[in-house]
Copies of this chain bind each other. A is one copy, B any other.
């Protein structure tokens, strides 16, 4: 992608209403634009990062045996009345229609996925089954805040699993935990499994996946000696106590919740009378689990956890592009032409190798401006090509994360990028 073609521009102006690092950096780099409080448009660079995260989540959910579908955002009021949630969920948007009906605008999907499964599941042989979607959700938050972390409109992966025994559910739940940890790790994030309350969903303990960062909304009690962690809201142990798991000292921390998993029991299958026939022909209760990942929120968490004072630092797996190519002009038109020729050739070679770069080909921007933009946008590798580097038949390579710089022969650059990105 040519920088001169990209319609977004970076800005030094700090957005007036940015209450968080993620909002500030994502807006300044032209990754997102705030359409209204709690609702962000995802612009080309931001959308590419979002799609990378989405791709990793999809692969992992397929690996867990999930079958992808797409439910609806408009949901019948009757379903929400049947589950007893029409008046119980305070963030539920209720939409009047000119037909005289009212609809729910889905903040989650138990109330439509359970009746859907009821039309297909007949026998115990039809389950276990898990279905998921990656879908825009809506919540009528009183206060939208923290940039893309808590919005009124956001992208979420929600999976629902169905089981005939509690044991089978428990087994799947443990597999989901491991899959979640791997999913976040693949996005460059270390997440901690944290015990928490089930919130509006269930009275049981549920598990959150927390990325530790000072900007986190959630207070945690954690052990640095092992993986023990509790949300402070339900913590049975206090900071300073001995870790009940390894005996270490418990500390306070803060986290951003990027995922959560719930044991729903028969809460919804009971509401919607979803049962299956057992081996003996008798009706069997169906147990249900629900597994969420905030996709847009995860992108925000990555920015919160991975940036410096110059800008974002994208993990390789979710960077919008692997390489930020910077072309530095020359006064002599013949030299400038030679630099452009070499840069365009490198751009083609990188693209052909599956490493399409973001190529800052601007003639009218100063080198310092281009470097500042590269730091702000934060792609893993910066490659500078100039009269000076061409004299050595090379490009200047800079690692955004470590800051390390070195000259790389032009003939070697594509292979080095490929190796670096797959390492």
Assuming the contacts A97-B140, A98-B90, asked whether A153 and B40 have C-beta atoms less than 8 A apart, the reply is no
Asked if B70 and A47 make an inter-chain contact with CB atoms under 8 angstroms apart, the answer reads: yes
Interface members, chain A 62-111 (any B CB < 8 Å)? 65, 67-76, 90, 93-99, 103, 105
Interface: A389 (CB within 8 A) = no
Chain B residue with minimal CB distance to A138? B74
Give the bracket for the number of chain A residues in contact with chain B. Answer: 35 or more
Instruction: Determine the chain B residues whose CB is within 8 A of the CB of A98 once the complex forms.
Output: 90, 140, 142
Knowing A7-B120, A75-B35, say if A69 contacts B44 (CB, 8 Å): yes
Instruction: Pick from B43, B95, B117: contact of A93, CB below 8 A.
Output: B95
Q: How far is the CA of A119 from the CA of B33 in the complex (A)?
A: 9
- Cβ-closest chain B residue relative to A67: B44
How far, in whole Å, are A70 and B40 apart by their CA atoms in the complex?
A: 9
A190 within 8 A of B: no
Residue in chain B with minimal CB distance to A97 = B140
**In the complex, what residues of B have CB within 8 A of residue A131's CB?**
7
Q: Is A42 an interface residue (CB 8 A)?
A: yes
Query: Which parts of A17-40 form the interface with B (CB within 8 Å)?
Result: 30, 33, 35-36, 38-40
Could you tell me the distance between the alpha carbons of A5 and B40 in the complex, rounded to whole angstroms? Answer: 38
From residue A278, how far is it (CB to closest CB) to chain B in Å?
A: 17
Complex formed: what's the CA distance from A215 to B376 in Å? 53
CB distance from A86 to the nearest CB of B (A): 14
Docked complex Cα distance between A129 and B8 (Å): 11
Whole-angstrom distance between the Cβ of A240 and the nearest chain B Cβ: 40
Contact of A67 among B6, B38, B73, B117 (CB under 8 A): B6
Contact status B99-A95, CB under 8 Å: no
Q: Are A39 and B90 in contact (CB under 8 A)?
A: no
Question: A residues bordering B, Cβ < 8 Å?
Answer: 5-9, 30, 33, 35-36, 38-44, 47, 50, 65, 67-76, 90, 93-99, 103, 105, 112, 116-117, 119-121, 126, 129, 131, 136, 138, 140, 142, 152-153
A and B contact pairs by CB, cutoff 8 A, 12 listed: A8-B120, A33-B116, A35-B72, A36-B103, A39-B72, A43-B69, A44-B67, A47-B68, A74-B138, A74-B152, A97-B152, A99-B142
